[in-house]
Structures are given as C-alpha cells and as structure tokens.
Amino acid sequence: MATTYFTEDHEWLRVEGGVATVGITDYAQEQLGDLVFVELPEVGRTVAKGDAAVVVESVKAASDVYAPADGEITEVNDALSSDPALVNSSPDGTGWLWKMKLADESQLEGLMDEAGYKAMIG
C-alpha cells in the first residue's frame, strides 16, 4: 500500500516499495498558474534531499521542484514534454513529475501527512 507525504515546498510523494512518485500539489499549481514547460531530470541521475530536480515554467514564473529525499531517478513523466498542462489538470494524478528509488526512507519521517499539509496552507 502506498503512503503519501507532503513537503513544505508543496511537493507530494507517494511511496510504495521503496520507490517514490513525486509531483507538486494542487495548491502549488494554482500559485504557479498555467504551466507552459516542464524540464525533467535525466533517468539515472542521483539527487540529494533539497536538490532542484525539475524546473516548471508557467506564464508567471519559473520555479524549481526539489527532491524530497536522497535517491536515484528511475522514471520521468514524458507526457509532460508535450503536455505540461497535465500538472495543472491533474497535479496528484497524471501530472506526476518523476519516480525515484529512495536511498534512505528514514528521511521521510520529517514530512507531513495530508492533514498536516492542509493545516500549513490553511
């Protein structure tokens, strides 16, 4: 069963079997506005917690999306190359950004659950 966590930087990650699927929250995509470009990372790239992994560009601004934990990027959402608006229409579904194999699951302990995240943006 997957467990979903949230970061203070408005990313969500759904963790199952040591692999995290990462995206930005609905709140984050609303703040950014309509996305026009998503710069995805290379598969196989190793990231450390806090590294900028993805750049999302909207009509308003460009913004970094950070790695929520240490790990290796195992897959990227290639559909976003041709349709970056998927992040706007389905930020926690088909608009996911990348998947990563977690190096240290204990790093997830400081992250929020959905109730904690909603309280933060409340």
Spatial separation of the C-alpha atoms in residues 105 and 71, rounded to whole Å: 10
Q: What's this model's pTM, rounded to 2 decimal places? A: 0.96
**Rounded CA gap, 20 and 10, in Å?**
15
Domains annotated for the chain, with CATH where assigned, are 3-101 (2.40.50.100)
d(CA 95, CA 112): 21
Q: Tell me how far the alpha carbon of residue 3 is from its chain's centroid.
A: 14
Q: Residue 39 pairs with which residues in a beta bridge?
A: 55
The per-residue pLDDT for 92 is 95
Kindly report, residue by residue over 52-94, the tens digit of the pLDDT.
999 999 999 999 999 999 999 999 999 999 999 999 999 999 9
Phi-psi region of 102 (alpha: psi -120 to 50; beta: other; left: phi over 0): beta
Residue type, 53: A
Query: What single letter denotes the amino acid at residue 100?
Result: M
- For the sheet with 35-39, list strands across it: 35-39, 52-58, 62-66
- Is the pLDDT score of 1 beyond 90? no
| Exposure of 36 in the CB half-sphere (CA atoms within 13 A) | 6
